[in-house]
């Protein structure tokens, strides 16, 4: 959780200097990029956006990199409250470095897709999203939830 807080502070500093009105910068927990991540979204029209979320986590020496490009669509609602849907891909790379000289370690890359539905609340420049998703890949299909906090200039 501490890393998520640090990411939020860095995100706020970057957004304050470089953002445009048709962009969204966010941090997420349990979302499309894994346990936590950062994301960027570019508004193409009033209801469609292209985005990407990314994360890195190290668990017991295993390093996991994740990237998730997606299409975001506002389905209902306009001002403060909206329902949305997202469809996208997830690309994950896992690496276990070798602790001994005679073994090169291990790595694997895989992909899948996801479909999400969720609720968005906007107030001023702040955006909060909660979503439920289904993710499918080599290992089968599984449910997923997510919570994102963003800044829209």
Report the CATH number that the domain containing residue 36 is assigned in CATH.
Answer: 2.40.160.20
153 versus 82: the higher-pLDDT residue is 82
* Residue range of the domain that includes 24: 2-151
Q: Does residue 25 contact residue 127 with C-beta atoms inside 8 Å?
A: no
How many separate domains does the chain show? 1
C-alpha span between 48 and 102 (Å, rounded): 51
pLDDT digits (tens, 9 = 90+) for 71-107: 999 999 878 999 999 999 999 999 999 888 888 889 9
What is the DSSP code (8-state) at residue 97? -
Q: Does residue 20 contact residue 40 with C-beta atoms inside 8 Å?
A: no
Say how many residues make up the chain.
Answer: 153
For the residues 131-139, what does the mean pLDDT come to? 93
Residue 53 pLDDT greater than 50, yes or no? yes
- pTM for this entry: 0.81
15 versus 126: the higher-pLDDT residue is 126
pLDDT band at 122, cuts 50/70/90? very high
Residue 60 pLDDT greater than 70, yes or no? yes
pLDDT digits (tens, 9 = 90+) for 2-51: 444 444 444 444 444 454 568 999 999 998 988 899 999 999 988 999 99
């Amino acid at each position: 959780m501490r890393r998520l807080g640090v990411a939020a502070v860095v995100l706020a500093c970057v957004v304050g200097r470089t953002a445009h009105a048709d962009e969204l910068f966010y941090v997420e927990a349990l979302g499309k990029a894994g346990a936590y991540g950062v994301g960027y979204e570019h508004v193409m029209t009033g209801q469609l956006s292209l985005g990407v979320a990314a994360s890195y986590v190290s668990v017991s020496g295993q390093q996991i990199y994740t990237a998730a490009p997606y299409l975001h669509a506002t389905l209902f609602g306009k001002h403060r409250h909206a329902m949305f849907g997202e469809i996208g891909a997830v690309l994950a790379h896992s690496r276990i470095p070798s602790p001994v000289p005679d073994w090169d370690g291990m790595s694997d890359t895989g992909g899948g897709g996801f479909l999400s539905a969720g609720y968005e609340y906007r107030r001023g420049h702040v955006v909060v999203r909660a979503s439920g998703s289904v993710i499918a890949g080599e290992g089968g299909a599984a449910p997923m939830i997510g919570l994102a906090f963003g800044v829209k200039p």
